[in-house]
Amino acid sequence: MIDALAEPETLLVFGVLAVRTSRAGVSASDQVRSTPYVTPFGLMRATSLSRDVVEAAAARLKRAGLLEVLVDDERGYESWRVSEAALAAATTESVGVGSRTGRG
């Protein structure tokens, strides 16, 4: 999952998506609102990357299970948001990394 973030463009796209769509730090009263999806055009504006680069980065993030996808068949593009479940799972898996498991 983390390997998907190795390329700078993918990390940049993920960072923008995380900032725009993460519910972390949102108050309980605001959580009733739906989490937005970000279009490729919004990512192009935010990152100055081309559409091809944005879509390739999103494809890597999708394969890694880090994104939720909303397909707009009428307009012919996808929109994305960060998968909170994937982030929670990654956080849970990383707990204890580097910690001592035994006593000596």
Indicate whether 49 pLDDT > 90: yes
Structurally, how many domains does the chain consist of?
A: 1
> Is 13 among the domain residues?
yes
Confidence at residue 98, expressed as pLDDT on a 0 to 100 scale: 54
Task: Assign 13 to helix, strand or coil.
Answer: helix
- Residue 102: its pLDDT value, please? 47
Whether 30 maps to a domain, the answer reads no
Q: Is the pLDDT of residue 6 over 70?
A: yes
Beta bridge partners of 71: 78
Q: Are 5 and 14 in contact (CB under 8 A)?
A: yes
Domain that holds residue 52: 2-23+35-87
In a domain, 97, yes or no: no
Q: What is the pLDDT of residues 29-46, one digit of tens each?
A: 555 567 799 999 999 999
Domain of 65: which CATH number?
Answer: 1.10.10.10
